[in-house]
Structure 1
Amino acid sequence: MISTVKGIVLREVDVGESDKMLTLLTAEMGQISVYGGGVKRLKSPHFVACQLYTYSEFTIYGSRDKYYLRESVPAESFFGIRDTLEGAALAAYIAEVACDISLEDQPEEKLLRLVLNSFFCIAKKLKPIVQIKAAFELRAAAEAGFMPDLVGCEGCGKSELDTYYFDVEGGYFCCESCYRAKETDFDVQAKRTSEAEGIYSHAHLIIPLTPSVFAAMRYVLYCKPERLFAFELKDEAMGEFSGACEKYLLCHLERDFRSLDFYNSVK
């Protein structure tokens, strides 16, 4: 069967001297593996389209067990990603997360659009790297099925607060009154660790958030995809926002990422 899909190269594995096994995230078929014969050769018509982080139209054939590349037309290479080590490190992290949460042979149009928008912002340097990373993490968690409830307090329903006590594991928040009423239970939750998975083993899972940080989280979750990065936070608030989004994603995916370790070492 021959199919034409639009997708981005998230991972590449060299096979022999001239071939590659490509992991693509596509709108139509989700995550697929495609064998590219001869694509490493400079004279190959597929050389550009099969580069890491390149968005292209691919014509493939085969079955879900193994696809082979037949034709390719590059659309966007995101060359600017490699201008800085921090940008390249973030792109690697985004690609690894996308590989982890994308489904095989299922449409992934929303996730693909999220990855493309994130890569575009990195390449064009439209927003601070820390902002791109955090917004991607929170939106990716939602796309993976872990949408937090940020509408109203879990206890009383209040939505406009001075401090939002965000339960990272539960995916909801409480006002101060409800938090104090359940403080003992929250303290137990806050001291839980994920040592077996190696995920921030000393981090508390209840995070007090300021109104500006909470508003940014709400915005990222409910805005239109093309407006995902159209918000601003001051430096201190951006740090809080980044920390909350990273913890939320890692907690719900229940794993860590080598690419994140590298990103944190170079940022």
Structure 2
Amino acid sequence: MSRRLAELDRLDRENLLPAPPRNRLGGRAKLSVLLLALLIGGIVVVDTLHAGPRSPLDELLPTGMFQDRQPAAGSSGAHAFVAQLPNGRPVTYDPCQPIRYVINPAGMPPEAEQLVHESVRAIASASRLTFSYAGATDETPVADRPTRQPQRYGGGWAPVLIAWVDQAQLEAEVPRGESVPNADVEGRGGSTAVTPAGPELTRFVTGEILLSRQAMAHHLGRRGGAPIARAVIMHELGHVVGLDHVSDPRELMAPVNTGQTELGPGDRQGLAIAGAGACWR
């Protein structure tokens, strides 16, 4: 049975493209990925400008920057970013600092943790960003997730949270009037940005990925389903580091995926640019 990977994007301003001929991968594998799109196509912006004495938060917000990294040479292709700085460069994480991530194992299907780490390694290799696994957590997803949680994670920004949620929770968050027939919402991902001293200094500091426990269990419970589950996770990680949707079906970041399970040339180019953002001091 042919499969259809369909994406629902809360703030997608373009209509979904007609699905091209679908690849046959065996078994039922329809899925869609809902991008966490708050304010600006996938990011939440926290305005930290204020008058008066510096707060403890300000210690994490250096206001200088230097640009000493260039994207690695590689193939080119379709790529886009969820947000851009006034100079046209994309909003990124600080490439000179590791991006910590944690996993809440509640409801996680067997073998899924291995796929998460494999996906992280693939994104890290393509972007040259450094990821650091900070272990398991008991943190559960909430609206307006705090960017700092010193009692749980110590100093610094809260790590990227990867958690497993009920399918119904993801489907309930699909905006009215925005649906794809015969598609299931299987994930959601995005990052939070801070603006310490004007929009030109905006950068990502933490993020969140929510995955459907039922959908992932379905994929991992059938033969050949692991690459599909991994594709969902990599797609969400792409959103976390700043990639947006593209219309080219050869790219993993396409809104309608008809069989792509590995990063395409545009995905790799976009990730290389996302990994060459400014370092902060």
TM-score bucket (shorter structure): under 0.3
Higher Cα Rg: structure 1 or 2?
1
What is the TM-score normalised by the length of structure 2? Answer: 0.25
What is the TM-score normalised by the length of structure 1? Answer: 0.26
Normalized per residue, the structure richer in helix is 1
